[in-house]
Amino acid sequence: MLTYLNNTIKTSVRKLVEFLLRSGDITTGSGLIADPEAMQEGSRLHKKIQRAQRATYQSEVSLKMCWNQDRYDLILEGRADGIDRISLEEENEMMLQEDTVVQDEITKDAESLILIDEIKCVYRDVKNIEEAEELHLAQAKCYAYMYGKDKEISEILVRITYCNIETEAKKYFVVCYDMNQLEEWFLGLIDQYTMWANYYIEARTARNQSISNMSFPFIYRKGQKSMIAMVYRGVKEKKHIFLQAPTGIGKTISTLYPVLKILGEGEAEKIFYLTAKTITRTVAEDTIHLLRQQGMHLKAVTITAKEKICILEKVECNPLICERARGHYDRINQALYSLLTEQENIDRNTILEYSERFHVCPYELSFEAAEWADVIICDYNYVFDPHVNRKSLFGEKNGKQNILLIDEAHNLLDRARDMYSAILNKNDFLVVKKIFKEKSKYILKKLQNCNSEMLKLRHLIKDNATLPNSTCVELTEGIDGLYYPLFRLLGPLEEYLKDHPEMPEREEVVEFYFHVRHFFMIMDSMEDGYLIYGENAGKDTKIRLFCVDPSSRLEEYLERSRAGIFFSATLLPIPYYKQLLGGNHGIDAFSIPSPFDTERRLLAIAGDVTSRYSRRGEREYRKMVRYLEQTVEEKTGNYMIFFPSYDMLNEVYELAMEGTLSLVCEIMRQEPSMGEREREHFLERFQENANRPLIGFCVLGSIFSEGIDLTGSRLLGVLIVGNGLPQICNEREMIRTYFDRRGKKGYDYAYRYPGMNKVLQAAGRVIRTAQDIGIILLMDDRFLQRENQVLLPEEWDSFYEVNLQNYGQALHHFWENYKDEI
């Protein structure tokens, strides 16, 4: 909404009118596509219109006005698309043109008038535009007043020029304004905005004063002070850094505390605490709450996914269906101002409360609040995903004042690959063609053009298949032919959805629209780091834009921030993550030693068992059950065992239930697609000092292998089956091929590194505090191989190599040392 620097608040004309004068409904069809002005074709056409004007026409005229307030200066600035002076004769000629609509009477008091031109490139058929949109007109009126006030003129013309992006057909709307009336309207806007600016200054002042008095809320753990200093220095010096920090050191407080201090010093605007999972979001919220107890005052907003916060069972942003969408923008500013002035902790429950009170959309309210917040706790995609993030939240001009804290940063790699990849299916066009056969010949033609290009690619894939049964082919040419057909489909489809909210197949068409839009935007912006594949599957053809190396895409957002702090307990090997997340561009990396006594943890590697595909079967599975039995025999308590797949989990589970283990232990297993309440219930079963031992059968890399805290005797150990290698598939083989071509270790990048990361995450579930005692058993002989050994953390430099004959002795010796503690 605004930028603040050196006691000066700045905002643009466009942001001012869009914020203060918005009204009406939320609709799925409005704002579906990126602003045409920002699109390549829209920008080209915009400049073409300006160049076609006569010599006296001035393009892109910068305008600015300033007001001195008690505690700050307020600056409004903008750029008029065009300014010209026209005579009465030229006025008359312009008004008589067929494509010009006069929206107000033109007076004849002056021999000539200044014309303010506002150009809008649109996808709509301009013949169907009956009047200028209020926000477009308001923007031009602001420019008219700013120019007219400076030049001391009494009357001024405003023209809104609409131009269709595809046909270049134009339509003009002209209004003449008296400067006295314009001044009354304009100053009313400034008065409204001043109320918001005053709130911002008051909240900022209170925030900075409270943070300056804030002290660290805990006794420092070993290594914690160093980590805090690294973060503080990195942000001060405007650097991006990687922190490999062990489990239990207190990564959340160790990153938040120093950046909050920098925020309080006025050297940053916002802190984004980015996570991949709900549970780590909760830890960040709890940390903010803890600091508030010391008297810290700031606005912290948690953004919840639309599907989880929507009041409807199924998300439907249609004012005919959702009562909150109907008239949302008429009420949103009142809701927002009340929320900001009455609350500091703006979490999911607070958002739901105020959205119900003011009858607005909770998802949109959370974004509105986030624009004014000091700390934003949200998923990675609200910053890094170009289809989800909002420029208003991560501003272009003030983005350099944002700090990114990227928690569990090892998760960002696969998430980024998903964000920046896209798939297009030929059959989808055929389905939507049937829908529009009787509805719109114009859109039908656009769909047919896209389908024709997909058909060409289908033949290309067939012709280039290297094996008789091969259906997947890398495409080095032919894909460009899709660009303009897709581009020319999106605009008309957007307009149709906007104008037909009641169409029966709306949901299906909207889903198709977003799918095509995502593909087009990825295609429009992709550079290095991609592999393009095509696949013929039966009668369907799929085109995949696969982002193998997302570093350049992520770098775009990092460069728009003051600093990015990547932290995790498993950023190993660090060069791998530096390359794929940060691009290796002068980014510092640090490793923080574990604060815990390694003597309180038994690390063992079982060399007589494996999860290799060639040896999977009952013989190996019975060994795994026997290891479990020995573990519980030596020390009764709660344990987790992690498997590489649900299939293996279920096989071993059945064997365990048949044997003696089920008689002495309670055994639970993770089920696919467990809901949030089911996951909570699973973890709640791990209680301290339980009467009966508990073993949880879990899948490696799942929700239970990271981000959970089972301290003390709630969890005495983890057993990990296999080295976590992902299953062989087309995608993993693409990654391998890509990096092999570039002289990198393709197998390691595709399989070994991701697999070891899952192992380390699972192992981190045990030993969460300095008082904890526990065991880690790695059950696969491949952990003894040198290429895997070098990937283990420094604190794992010593371990027991065990088998079923000596494992019990190693356990007995370890637990004997701590028999008085547990």
Going by pLDDT thresholds of 50, 70 and 90, the confidence category of residue 541 is very high
pLDDT of residue 43: 81
- Nearest 10 degrees: Cα torsion 759, 765, 768, 774: -90
101-132 pLDDT tens trace: 776 655 556 678 999 999 999 888 898 899 99
Q: Which residues contact 75 (CB under 8 A, 6 or more apart)?
A: 8, 9, 10, 11, 64, 65, 66
Question: CA separation (Å) from 758 to 160, 221, 292, 353, 638?
Answer: 57, 26, 35, 39, 21
Question: CA separation (Å) from 370 to 257, 270, 397, 402?
Answer: 20, 9, 17, 13
pLDDT of residue 31: 45
Going by pLDDT thresholds of 50, 70 and 90, the confidence category of residue 36 is very low
Going by pLDDT thresholds of 50, 70 and 90, the confidence category of residue 624 is very high
- The pLDDT of 729-744, averaged and rounded, is 93
Amino acid symbol at 510 = V
Q: 674 and 688 in contact (C-beta within 8 Å)?
A: no
pLDDT over 50 (residue 38): no
pTM beyond 0.75, yes or no: yes
Least confident span in 28-42, 300-314, 489-503, 519-533: 28-42
Going by pLDDT thresholds of 50, 70 and 90, the confidence category of residue 670 is very high
What's the DSSP call for residue 534?
E
> If 0-12 CB within 10 Å is exposed, 13-18 middle and 19+ buried, where does residue 600 land?
middle
The angle formed by the CA atoms of residues 735, 741 and 747, to the nearest 5 degrees, is: 45
Q: Which residues contact 141 (CB under 8 A, 6 or more apart)?
A: 158, 177, 182, 185, 186
48-59 pLDDT tens trace: 999 999 999 999
pLDDT of residue 109: 60
Average pLDDT over the chain, rounded to whole? 91
Q: How far apart are CA 478 and CA 809, in angstroms?
A: 65
R_g (Cα) of the chain, nearest Å: 31
pLDDT of residue 396: 54
pLDDT over 70 (residue 606): yes
Give first-to-last CA distance, the chain, whole Å.
56
Helix locations, 295-361, DSSP H = 306-309, 328-342, 348-358
Q: Which residues contact 76 (CB under 8 A, 6 or more apart)?
A: 10, 11, 12, 13, 16, 64, 65, 66, 142, 146, 190
Does residue 485 or residue 466 have the better pLDDT?
485
pLDDT over 70 (residue 397): no
Q: Which residue has the tokens 């925030």?
A: 207
Give the bridge partners for 589, in sequence order.
242
775-796 pLDDT tens trace: 999 999 999 999 999 999 988 9
Q: How far apart are CA 116 and CA 13, in angstroms?
A: 14
Token duo for residue 629: 């039995």
Q: Count other Cβ atoms within 10 Å, centred on residue 27.
A: 19
Which segment, 61-65, 383-387, 478-482, is predicted with the most confidence on average? 61-65
Q: 94 and 63 in contact (C-beta within 8 Å)?
A: no
Q: How far apart are CA 375 and CA 403, in angstroms?
A: 10
Which DSSP helix (H) or strand (E) runs through 820? none
Q: How far apart are CA 522 and CA 678, in angstroms?
A: 36
Half-sphere exposure of 171 (CA within 13 A, CB side): 18
Token duo for residue 744: 């990198």
pLDDT over 70 (residue 582): yes
Does residue 395 or residue 140 have the better pLDDT?
140
Q: 545 and 519 in contact (C-beta within 8 Å)?
A: yes
- The pLDDT of 684-713, averaged and rounded, is 90
Does residue 80 or residue 279 have the better pLDDT?
80
How large a percentage of the chain has pLDDT more than 90?
73
- The pLDDT of 391-414, averaged and rounded, is 81
Amino acid symbol at 783 = F
- The pLDDT of 476-500, averaged and rounded, is 89
**What SS3 state is found at 13?**
helix
pLDDT of residue 814: 96
pLDDT over 70 (residue 33): no
Residues across the chain:
822
Token duo for residue 627: 């290891």
Token duo for residue 473: 């082919």
Q: Count other Cβ atoms within 10 Å, centred on residue 163.
A: 21
Token duo for residue 561: 């921030």
pLDDT of residue 91: 67
Q: Which residues contact 754 (CB under 8 A, 6 or more apart)?
A: 414, 724, 726
Helix locations, 132-178, DSSP H = 134-151
- The pLDDT of 536-553, averaged and rounded, is 94
4-27 pLDDT tens trace: 878 899 999 999 999 999 999 987
Backbone angles phi, psi at 512, to 5 degrees: -60, -45
pLDDT of residue 95: 66
pLDDT over 80 (residue 370): yes
326-335 pLDDT tens trace: 999 999 999 9
- The pLDDT of 715-737, averaged and rounded, is 94
Q: Which residue has the tokens 């160093």?
A: 226
Q: How far apart are CA 164 and CA 442, in angstroms?
A: 15
Going by pLDDT thresholds of 50, 70 and 90, the confidence category of residue 311 is very high
pLDDT of residue 351: 98
Going by pLDDT thresholds of 50, 70 and 90, the confidence category of residue 583 is confident
Q: 432 and 490 in contact (C-beta within 8 Å)?
A: no
pLDDT of residue 477: 83
Q: How far apart are CA 608 and CA 90, in angstroms?
A: 93
Q: Count other Cβ atoms within 10 Å, centred on residue 146.
A: 21
Going by pLDDT thresholds of 50, 70 and 90, the confidence category of residue 707 is confident
pLDDT over 90 (residue 34): no
- The pLDDT of 591-610, averaged and rounded, is 92
